[in-house]
Structure 1
Amino acid sequence: MAAAGTASATPVPVASSIPVGQGYMGAGYAQDNKDFKPVTGQLQLNTPGTVTPDAANPPGIDVSHYQGSINWSSVKAAGIQFAYIKATESTTYKDPDFSANYLNAYNAKVIRGAYHFAHPDLSSGAAQATYFAANGGAWSADNLTLPGMLDLEGGCYGLSAASMQSWILDFYNTYKAKTGRDIVIYTSPSWWNSCTGGWSGMSTRSPLFVADWTTAASPVIPGGFPYATLWQYADNGSVSGISGAVDRDYFIGTSARLLALANNTP
């Protein structure tokens, strides 16, 4: 899954209308991201039971309370190797299913990480990073914990590109000071190009988790990033152990590199 070229510029998305508590990975794209490709099927996943330490492009999912009760043992048996789990929004909201999902994924030996749905219009990046780190976003070197992720979508929140850049860097610096890890950034090409101006300031700091819902062999990469580390390629997947649709993801690399990201090793 080689990285593709950057997306063309799109109109600046309007301020988000997503209330606190209702955000999740992909929630904002229906209202303002017009460059997503239609989902017409699913990419071929690893067959359950065939995953090896050097398997290419291990599959993953991302979840929130909208998925309801999850049987993480069944998810693991289906071949899912990693998951990002919604923890917080703004400085007031914690996902009601986060604690159960985070613990049960760990017990099922699914490599998991927490994510924060950003509301840059409500408080500073530092304040939201502090809340996230204290409510599920912390990190430990246990072979099963990914660095926290910052979910950026759903409009530019009335901020200029320069102000958005400053907000993101404020979040990054605070999170790293509290956890020792670089925050992962989740976004789409249209959001990043519109709301940060295709900023390159995070390209050497943060792994990119790109949202590009497509059946193409590789994702479109936002301006300012040379490549993606993770890819959300569909929002209508099906996985054993989860009722209803779930977002489908890939780690772009090997299972060994996924473990290295979790453990903060070269």
Structure 2
Amino acid sequence: MNHFSSDEIRPRRRGLKALIGLLASAALTAALMAVASPASAQSSPTGVDVSNWQGSINWTSVKNAGIDFAYIKATEGTSYRDPRFDDNYPGAYYAGVIRGAYHFARPSYSSGSTQANFFASNGGAWSADNLTLPGAVDLEAPPSGARCYGLSTTQMRNWISDFYNTYKSRTGRDVVIYTTASWWNSCTGSWTGMAAKSPLWVAHWGASSPALPAGWSNTTWTFWQYTSSGSVSGIAGNVDRDHFNGSQARLLALANNT
């Protein structure tokens, strides 16, 4: 997320012990880093996802730190707009970071169509400009209340389909689905109906590879949020870190719908 008995050579023994200790510490550090930042995440495009909680962000520093892409919170439910979105979204663009917007879903508030329209009208739109990813819908348990928002698995599937169809009608793009395997499988009844449509952004922290929701496979997930405690120059405190499952050229192709 590592012999000698005479007084004359005791300093050498202490030096040897110190060296062994340093090597052991280095090995432990490398092992911990391997969990926090998987090898695959170090060889392909890397990203962050941010919201108002990260405070003011220096996007030039973020870009210079090697970050290729970012997802930025735009909206939640039917009325909330992230207060830092209007700074973060253009800030990432002008720094040369490929960015996309995301919507935190509240399926108990209103229909999928209503929330997709709200999202698309408040930052979630798309344009082919080499720097804009399709919007994402964040589907996870709420901070409080029913894990599945009080919806049956059939109702949740219908809500997601409603959001997807409306977003695609508005933007021409397939919405990216952010979720975890456990939430998706329990709240949609292990539904496989979106796997052929939506790119998957899966959250699974501290693992060497992500557990996947029903329908997606090791070759079909698109983004992986692999830690919530990363650090990046230009962002104060911890930040979610993400890995793209492909090359820089493939990331650009996703951005441009090519």
Aligned partners of 1:101, 1:75: CA distance in 2, in Å? 12
For residues 47-101 of structure 1, give each alpha carbon's deviation from its aligned partner in whole angstroms, at most 9, with x where no partner exists: 99xxxxxxx4210000000000000000000000000000000110000000100
| TM-fit CA distance, 1:183 | 0.1
Aligned-residue CA RMSD in angstroms?
Answer: 1.9
* TM alignment of 1:30-179, pairs within 5 A: 41-43=35-37, 56-154=43-141, 155-179=147-171
Where does the alignment leave 5 or more consecutive residues of structure 2 unmatched? Answer: 1-31, 142-146
Aligned partners of 2:153, 2:162: CA distance in 1, in Å? 14
Matching residue within 218, 241, 255 for 2:248: 255
For residues 153-173 of structure 1, give each alpha carbon's deviation from its aligned partner in whole angstroms, at most 9, with x where no partner exists: 012000011100000000000
Instruction: Indicate the residue corresponding to 2:231 in structure 1.
Output: 238
Given that 2:52 and 2:82 are in contact with CA atoms closer than 8 Å, whether structure 1 keeps it comes out as: yes
| TM-fit CA distance, 1:215 | 3.6
Counterpart of 2:164, as a letter, is Y
Aligned partners of 2:92, 2:39: CA distance in 1, in Å? 20
Instruction: Indicate the residue corresponding to 1:10 in structure 2.
Output: none
Counterpart of 1:220, as a letter, is A
Given that 2:176 and 2:201 are in contact with CA atoms closer than 8 Å, whether structure 1 keeps it comes out as: yes
1:209 lines up with 2:240 in the alignment: no
TM-score, normalised via structure 1 length: 0.80
Aligned partners of 1:193, 1:61: CA distance in 2, in Å? 25
Instruction: Indicate the residue corresponding to 1:223 in structure 2.
Output: 214
Aligned partners of 1:190, 1:215: CA distance in 2, in Å? 15
Question: 1:47–1:202: structure 2 CA closer, same or farther, 3 Å change rule?
Answer: closer
TM-score, normalised via structure 2 length: 0.82
SS of the residue 2:221 aligns to: coil
Aligned partners of 1:251, 1:188: CA distance in 2, in Å? 16
Given that 2:41 and 2:244 are in contact with CA atoms closer than 8 Å, whether structure 1 keeps it comes out as: no
Counterpart of 2:111, as a letter, is S
- Which has more helix, going by share of residues? 2
Matched length: 220
Where does the alignment leave 5 or more consecutive residues of structure 1 unmatched? Answer: 1-37, 49-55
Aligned partners of 1:212, 1:39: CA distance in 2, in Å? 16
Whose radius of gyration is greater, 1 or 2?
A: 2
Counterpart of 2:157, as a letter, is Q
